[in-house]
Amino acid sequence: MQKTVFLGTLAAAVGTAGFALADAHEGSTLAQVQERGSLNCGVTTGVPGFAEPDADGVWQGFDVAVCRAVAAAVLGDPNAVTFVPTTGKTRFTALASGEIDMLARNTTWTFSRDTDLSFDFVGVNYYDGQGFMVPADLGVSSATELDGATVCIQTGTTTELNLADFFRVNGMSYEPVPIETGAEAVQQYLAGACDVYTTDRSALAAQRAGFEDPDASVILPEVVSKEPLGPLVRHGDNEWGDIVRWTLNALISAEELGITQGNVEEMAASAGDNPEINRILGTEGDLAAMVGLEADAFKNAIAAVGNYGEVFDTNIGESTAIGLARGLNAQYTDGGLIYSPPFR
């Protein structure tokens, strides 16, 4: 008798939990995005190669591709994205308030942002470090020669603290020139309002590539910080975090496994002998269903933007004007840090 009562109570509890999960799903970010029919994605105000609108106003870039991949996975349409430009100061408010569903811009994963600001970084899509750019005619070959310099620095970023730490450790002084956006920093730097512009080295390379005379500016050799950059979401919606995380991982794993934008449809149709490829492409198992998506969700993401290597090479790689080598952002099999947990 007691066993019967227990089983009845257990069944009721499971039923109640099921209703609770259903209610939670109805108010989830996934449900909101699906009902809206578009993904609200926070990006930078404009960093060439990473995120900026082209001449037709269409957003392009390395970080933009993450937004489009998530939209393709969730909605089946990489163009179902509303891009919301954010600054160093406004990006976290936009995410916390629900104005955007995810943030995909050059944002560094730190302890306080992960915990105190109640965000979840879902992975790293670019390993970076802070650097310094100076006019070539300044005659400086090392950041240790910058004592007394005026420095253009974007407010609300980790670069402010890194800058202060570097100058303090090296017994130097500087005069900050606060700016809000990368575009403003470039304008002030080129106008001679500061001797030095400091930010992530990838952004320095991207912005320098757009100068009328790129050779007139030099990026100094020092790398003064660790800047693991990646997309982030709000705390508390684990399903949505899993969706963004595993969409990024699908792009990373696709490169490792030889899945490309050009062959993904054929590989999905043929359902070959590699079970991990089949699981990613949705022809075997039910991984996508575990996060509330259709079986071909990750296949759609890869078809939309290509694998991680293709996204890198197309937007910021050595054959582009940005000209960045893979370096730490090579696959782990090639000596880099790019690595996805297994799809199983």
Residue 94 belongs to some domain of the structure: yes
pLDDT in tens, 135-176: 999 999 999 999 999 999 988 888 999 999 999 999 999 999
Q: Does 236 lie in the same domain as 123?
A: yes
Number of neighbouring beta carbons within 10 Å of residue 13 = 10
Torsional class of 109: left (φ above 0), alpha (ψ -120 to 50), beta (otherwise) = beta
The confidence score (pLDDT) of residue 27 equals 75
Q: Does 187 lie in the same domain as 41?
A: no
Tell me which of 203, 225, 247 is where a domain ends. 225
Q: Does 318 lie in the same domain as 182?
A: no
Q: Does 67 lie in the same domain as 211?
A: no
CATH number at residue 176: 3.40.190.10
As a whole number, mean pLDDT of residues 118-134 equals 97
pLDDT at 15 over 60: no
For the chain, give the percent of residues with pLDDT over 90.
Answer: 85
Residue 295 belongs to some domain of the structure: yes
Contacts of 171 (CB under 8 A, 6+ apart): none
pLDDT in tens, 23-71: 445 579 999 999 999 999 999 998 999 999 999 999 999 999 999 999 9
The span from the CA of 228 to the CA of 122, in Å, is 11
Which domain does 148 fall in, by range?
130-225
Residue 215 belongs to some domain of the structure: yes
The span from the CA of 272 to the CA of 291, in Å, is 24
What is the rounded average pLDDT for all residues in the chain?
91
Number of neighbouring beta carbons within 10 Å of residue 194 = 22
The pair of structure tokens assigned to 192 is: 């001679």
The span from the CA of 214 to the CA of 135, in Å, is 10
Q: Which long-range contacts (CB under 8 A, 24 or more apart) does 312-316 make?
A: 312/62, 315/49, 315/50, 315/60, 315/61, 315/62, 315/65, 316/49, 316/50, 316/62, 316/202, 316/206
The confidence score (pLDDT) of residue 41 equals 98
The pair of structure tokens assigned to 22 is: 């259903």
The span from the CA of 96 to the CA of 326, in Å, is 32
Tell me which of 205, 225, 245 is where a domain ends. 225
Q: Does 115 lie in the same domain as 152?
A: no
pLDDT in tens, 260-314: 999 999 999 998 899 999 999 999 999 999 999 999 999 999 999 999 999 999 9
Q: Which residue has the tokens 């490792």?
A: 256
Q: Which helix (H) or strand (E) holds 103?
A: strand 102-103
The confidence score (pLDDT) of residue 51 equals 96
Q: Does 169 lie in the same domain as 76?
A: no
Sheet strand arrangement including 119-121 = 81-86, 39-44, 102-103, 232-234, 119-121
Residue 7 belongs to some domain of the structure: no
Q: Does 187 lie in the same domain as 136?
A: yes
pTM here? Answer: 0.88
| DSSP SS3 for 337 | coil
Measuring CA to CA, how many Å separate 190 from each of 44, 156, 175, 218, 220?
Answer: 20, 22, 17, 13, 17
Q: Does 157 lie in the same domain as 90?
A: no
**Counted domains in the chain:** 2
Residue 8 belongs to some domain of the structure: no
Q: Does 72 lie in the same domain as 197?
A: no
